[in-house]
Every structure is written in structure tokens, then in C-alpha cells.
């Protein structure tokens, strides 16, 4: 039966706007990944006491893009059986943090390890030593936005990749069963990690940001509006800003994703709009699933999470 909702989804499934990628995008990322592959994590994990009898909690500190100490929670179920565990690496939404260990109890109940990190400079314990040589508008997105090598997106992308590296090295983790996951900003990081890192076996980007960012800078009501404000103040830098963002746009990097990926999208989302998410998703060539929610805005609901956990359980053979 055809109706406005089904037609809307059909239109989105056919959406393939022109790529904004620069000709050297793959060369750039191959070189960048090689450069950071040997950068030491300088990591440590410290056991933390909590009131949760069946949860083993560690505070983790590691280095990603630069010398900024990135903080995270590393969680293990105390009731685990013998053998190594699948692990989910989690990135939070814009202005958020790694939260509290108990926020991730559902993964522990599945018998999984969890590594949830702060995104630098936002509302967690993690600071930001990224150099700044030009003014910014409110928030974090416009820091260093005039060049691909100085911008905030590069720092948080490398931080996200290094978090996967750290998780893969833990003695309790089965490094063939690592999932990159997150919502909104975290979904964008999970998706770009799926494109650039060889550590995750699957990825779950919920309502991902960092997709079709040239459309987002015009239309989004959240983080990319900061980039729009920057260009409003400095209109002569519009083309430079669009070029910088293009190197971190999942639409331009989707062809590099080679793992199964599970994506959610809200058709009434004014932040990570469906046009942006489908523009990236439609260019993914690996096994993929997208679940549209016609009446959801910018939210990850219980149903989003349940379907994602079912996807993880299936691919990681969790029974």
C-alpha cells in the first residue's frame, strides 16, 4: 500500500546527492592512519569501587590525537564465563559525556565488555589540548575549521579510532568481536570509525551526525549550526569550511566501510536529518540495515536500542 510515509522512505532510499570529496581523500586518510598507527596510547586503567555487585569497573585514561588524556569507563560483567568477551566501544552525543557505568548495564547483561569514552572538551572529565589559531563560534565544532589537519573533527576522529585500538588490546576482549556504536555525534564517530579502522567487526550508528555535511550546515538545528554561524561571521571562508568538513563526511567515506552496519534514522529529526543519513547510508557497499522511524525526532528510543542489541547478538553469536 502506497502512502505518504512509504513514498517518503522510497524517496530517501533513492537519494544519492553528489559527493563533496576532494580527489585526495583516500590518499589523505591512508597517510593519516599510517601516521597515527604508531602513536603510543600511554594508557592506564584503574579499578573503581561502585555499589554494583556484578559489574567490574575501571577508569581508563589514554591518548588519541594528541597528549590530551581521554577518559573512559571500561566495564566487565563479574558473572562472565571462561573465554574472551565481545566488546562494544561507545561514543556519546554532542555536549554529552561517558556518563555513569550503570548506563551500560544492558550490554553487561548480554555478557559483553564495554568501553565508553568522553569526547574531548565536552561535558565529561576530558579536556582539550588541541591548538587554536583562529576564533570560533559557540561550541566546539569550529575549532581549527579552516584546515583539515587542525580541525576539531580530526581530533575526535583519531580519538575514536584510538579507543578501538585500546579495546582491542585488553586481555578480556575478543578482538574479532568489537562493535563501534553511538548516537548522533557518537553515531557519526561510529560510522567514520567503521570506515577508517580495521578494529570493529560491526558498527551501530544511531541517528548519525557527520553525514552530508554541506546539507547539514544549511539545515541542521544543532552542532553544524555552529559552522553556519562561523561562516556568517566570516563569509569569505565558506568554501574552506566546506572543504574541511568534506574530509570527515561519512557520505564521502562510506565506500570504505567493509563491515556489517546497522543504522537508525528519525524522519522528523531536525538535527541529523534523514536526508543526510540516507545520503551516507545509500553509498555503503557492505552488508547494511537501516531502520526508519517515521514519527521520531532526534532521539534514540528503547526500540532503537532493542533492535541494535539484537543485531549485535546475531553477529557476535551471543545466546
Give the model confidence (pLDDT) of 121-144 as tens digits. Answer: 999 999 999 999 999 999 999 999
Compute how many other C-beta atoms are within 10 angstroms of the C-beta atom of residue 79: 12
The reported pLDDT for the residue numbered 173 is 98
Q: Kind of pairing, strands 44-48 and 55-63?
A: antiparallel
Q: Kind of pairing, strands 69-77 and 113-117?
A: antiparallel
Residue list for the binding site for substrate? 94
Residue list for the binding site? 94
Can you say whether residue 317 is alpha, beta or left, with left for phi > 0 and alpha for psi between -120 and 50 degrees? left
CB distance 112 to 87 below 8 Å: yes
pLDDT band at 214 (very low <50, low <70, confident <90, very high): very high
Predicted confidence (pLDDT) per residue in 237-246, tens digit = 999 999 999 9
Q: Kind of pairing, strands 261-266 and 202-206?
A: parallel
Of the chain, the percentage scoring pLDDT greater than 70 comes to 100
Structural domains in the chain plus CATH codes = 4-16+86-97+124-315 (3.40.50.1820)
Q: Is the pTM of this model over 0.95?
A: yes
Opening angle at CA 172, ends 36 and 177, nearest 5: 65
pLDDT band at 1 (very low <50, low <70, confident <90, very high): low
* Residues annotated catalytic, as ranges: 184, 269, 298
pLDDT band at 319 (very low <50, low <70, confident <90, very high): confident
Predicted confidence (pLDDT) per residue in 24-61, tens digit = 999 999 999 999 999 999 999 999 999 999 999 999 99
Q: What is the mean pLDDT of residues 283-305?
A: 97
The reported pLDDT for the residue numbered 103 is 98
Angstrom distance (rounded) from CA 65 to CA 54: 34
Amino acid at each position: 500500500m502506497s502512502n505518504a510515509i512509504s513514498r517518503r522512505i522510497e524517496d530517501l532510499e533513492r537519494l544519492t546527492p553528489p559527493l563533496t570529496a576532494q580527489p585526495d581523500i583516500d590518499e589523505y586518510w591512508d597517510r593519516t592512519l599510517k601516521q597515527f598507527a604508531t602513536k603510543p596510547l600511554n594508557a592506564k586503567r584503574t579499578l573503581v569501587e561502585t555499589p554494583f555487585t556484578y559489574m567490574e569497573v575501571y577508569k581508563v585514561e589514554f591518548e588519541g590525537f594528541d597528549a590530551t588524556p581521554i577518559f573512559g569507563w571500561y566495564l566487565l560483567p563479574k558473572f562472565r564465563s571462561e573465554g574472551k568477551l565481545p566488546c562494544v566501544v561507545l561514543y556519546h552525543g554532542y555536549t554529552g559525556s561517558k556518563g555513569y557505568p550503570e548506563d551500560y548495564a544492558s550490554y553487561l547483561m548480554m555478557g559483553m565488555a564495554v568501553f565508553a569514552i568522553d569526547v574531548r572538551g565536552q561535558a565529561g572529565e576530558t579536556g582539550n589540548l588541541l591548538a587554536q589559531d583562529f576564533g570560533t563560534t559557540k561550541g566546539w565544532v569550529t575549532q581549527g575549521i579552516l584546515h583539515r589537519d587542525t580541525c576539531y573533527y580530526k581530533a575526535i576522529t583519531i580519538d575514536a579510532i584510538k579507543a578501538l585500538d585500546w579495546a582491542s588490546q585488553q586481555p578480556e576482549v575478543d578482538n574479532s568481536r568489537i562493535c563501534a556504536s553511538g548516537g548522533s555525534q557518537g553515531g557519526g564517530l561510529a560510522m567514520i570509525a567503521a570506515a577508517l579502522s580495521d578494529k570493529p567487526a560491526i558498527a551501530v550508528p544511531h541517528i548519525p551526525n557527520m553525514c552530508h555535511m554541506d546539507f547539514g550546515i544549511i539545515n541542521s538545528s544543532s552542532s553544524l549550526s555552529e559552522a553556519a554561524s562561523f561562516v556568517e561571521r566570516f563569509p569569505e571562508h565558506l568554501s574552506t569550511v566546506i572543504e574541511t568538513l568534506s574530509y570527515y563526511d561519512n557520505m564521502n567515506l562510506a565506500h570504505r566501510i567493509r563491515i556489517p552496519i546497522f543504522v537508525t534514522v528519525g524522519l522528523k529529526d531536525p538535527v541529523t536529518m534523514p536526508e543526510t543519513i540516507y545520503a551516507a547510508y545509500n553509498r555503503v557497499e557492505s552488508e547494511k540495515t537501516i531502520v526508519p522511524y517515521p514519527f521520531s525526532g532526534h532521539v534514540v528510543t528503547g526500540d532503537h536500542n532493542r533492535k541494535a542489541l539484537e543485531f549485535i547478538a546475531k553477529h557476535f553469536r551471543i545466546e
